[in-house]
Amino acid sequence: MNVLVVGSGGREHTLAWKLSQSPKVDKVYIAPGNSGCAQAGECVDIDVDNFRLLVRWAREHDIGFVVPGAEAYYVAGIVDAFKGSGISTFGPDQAAAELEGSKIFAKNLMRRHGIPTADYAEFEQIEPALRYLDSRPEGPVVVKADGLCAGKGVIVCRNLGEAKDAVRRMMDGGEFGEAGRRVVIEELLRGQEVTILALTDGKTIAPLASSQDHKAAFDGDAGPNTGGMGAYSPAPVLTDELMDEVVGRILVPTVHAMNEEGRRFRGLLYAGLMLTAGGPKVLEYNVRFGDPETQPVLMRLESDLFDLLMATAQGKLVDREMKWTDDAAVCVVLASGGYPGPYEKGKVVSGLDKAAKHPDTVVFHAGAKLTPRGDVVTDGGRVFGVTALGSTIAEAIGRAYAAVGDVSFEGMRYRTDIGKKALVS
Binding site for ligand GLY (CB under 6 A): 151, 213, 227-228, 286, 290-291, 293
Q: Nearest CA to 303 among 277, 278, 322, 330? A: 322
Residue 183 or residue 376: which is nearer to ligand AMP going by CB? 183
Q: In angstroms, give the least distance from the CB of 187 to ligand AMP.
A: 6
Q: In angstroms, give the least distance from the CB of 304 to ligand AMP.
A: 30
Cβ contact 425:236 at 8 Å:
yes
Q: In angstroms, give the least distance from the CB of 380 to ligand GLY.
A: 15
Residue 195 or residue 200: which is nearer to ligand AMP going by CB? 195
Residue 58 or residue 333: which is nearer to ligand GLY going by CB? 333
Report the distance separating Cα 302 and Cα 314, nearest Å.
21
Q: Which does 293 bind (CB under 5 to 8 A by kind): ligand GLY, ligand AMP, none?
A: ligand GLY
| H helix count then E strand count, the chain | 15, 22
Identify each DSSP E strand in 16-58 by its residue range. 27-32, 42-43
Report the distance separating Cα 34 and Cα 384, nearest Å.
11
Q: Which residues contact 91 (CB under 8 A, 6 or more apart)?
A: 67, 68, 74, 78, 79, 97, 266, 267, 268, 287, 288, 313
Q: In angstroms, give the least distance from the CB of 123 to ligand AMP.
A: 16
Residue 147 or residue 227: which is nearer to ligand GLY going by CB? 227
Q: Which residues contact 358 (CB under 8 A, 6 or more apart)?
A: 388, 399, 402, 403, 406
Residue 76 or residue 171: which is nearer to ligand GLY going by CB? 76
Residue 193 or residue 201: which is nearer to ligand AMP going by CB? 193
Q: In angstroms, give the least distance from the CB of 410 to ligand GLY.
A: 26
Question: CA angle, corner 21, sides to 214 and 215, nearest 5?
Answer: 5
Q: In angstroms, give the least distance from the CB of 281 to ligand AMP.
A: 8
Q: Which does 142 bind (CB under 5 to 8 A by kind): ligand AMP, ligand GLY, none?
A: ligand AMP
Q: Which does 291 bind (CB under 5 to 8 A by kind): ligand AMP, ligand GLY, none?
A: ligand GLY
Q: Which does 193 bind (CB under 5 to 8 A by kind): ligand GLY, ligand AMP, none?
A: ligand AMP
Cβ contact 384:10 at 8 Å:
yes
Cβ contact 107:120 at 8 Å:
yes
Residue 71 or residue 122: which is nearer to ligand GLY going by CB? 71
Q: Which does 407 bind (CB under 5 to 8 A by kind): ligand GLY, ligand AMP, none?
A: none
User: Angle formed by the axes of helices 305-313 and 10-19, to 10°?
Assistant: 100
Cis previous bond, 137, omega within 30: no
Q: In angstroms, give the least distance from the CB of 231 to ligand GLY.
A: 7
Q: Which does 118 bind (CB under 5 to 8 A by kind): ligand AMP, ligand GLY, none?
A: ligand AMP
Cβ contact 171:152 at 8 Å:
no
**Which residues of the chain form contacts with ligand AMP (CB under 6 A)?**
118, 142, 144, 154, 156, 186, 188-189, 193, 215, 225, 272, 283-284
